[in-house]
Amino acid sequence: MERSSILEQVASYYGDCVRQHGATPRGVDWNSQESQELRFHELLRILPASATDYSILDYGCGYGALIDMLVGRGQSFRYLGFDVSHEMIARARRQHRRADCTFGTDLGALGVVDYAVASGVLNVKLDVPLDAWRDHVAGVLGDLDRASRKAFAFNALTKYSDADRMVEQLFYADPCEYFDYCKRKFSPHVALLHDYGLFEFTILVRKGGR
């Protein structure tokens, strides 16, 4: 299955979500603002405590909810938001009219940043065959690596979720497999976070130990 076809399905799915629920956590298929913010908190562990004047890519940015958390850190930053859904990008631009924020559907045009994060983009596989979705996941991780100079982070649903709560259209990843994949493929400096109360995990990949 071509990756372009997968991206079209994903864009259609999330476009429907945001049209139905607006610029809210439900609009990006999260069940609460609290869980959305917890995911952001774990992903932003990729930033050093002293980070300032940095650039960050939000891969699968939705309506740009991560921006509010970045602003709350009190640091100067340049934010680039990428999403395959044109509807999401339109909402993000309306929500965040800031000079330090840029949004687009063309990842290559956004350029390379210091840090890249991706929240939830690996989860909703719809009816895409598992092997094709796993190839897509590898493509996303490659995108994050190429787009970042210093580090990147992503999350995924875990295969250790309760069996009776698993949903057919979602992708449940093996955290050990992706920890090993990132160690071998991208950097020896990888952290796996699997202890924050959600049925998922976060992986941080630091380049050169930074």
Q: Using one digit for the tens of pLDDT, what is the confidence trace for 25-44?
A: 888 887 788 999 999 999 99
Parallel, antiparallel or unpaired: strands 101-104 and 77-82: parallel
pLDDT-derived band at 208 (thresholds 50, 70, 90) equals confident
Q: How far does the chain reach from its first CA to its final CA, in angstroms?
A: 37
Confidence (pTM): 0.94
Percent residues over pLDDT 70 in the chain:
99
Q: Which domains does the chain have, with CATH numbers?
A: 3-209 (3.40.50.150)
Residue 192 CB contacts under 8 Å (≥ 6 apart), including other chains: 175, 176, 179, 201, 202, 203
pLDDT-derived band at 66 (thresholds 50, 70, 90) equals very high
Q: Which two tokens stand for residue 57?
A: 């890519």
User: Can you tell me the mean pLDDT for 123-146?
Assistant: 97
At 152 the pLDDT is 98
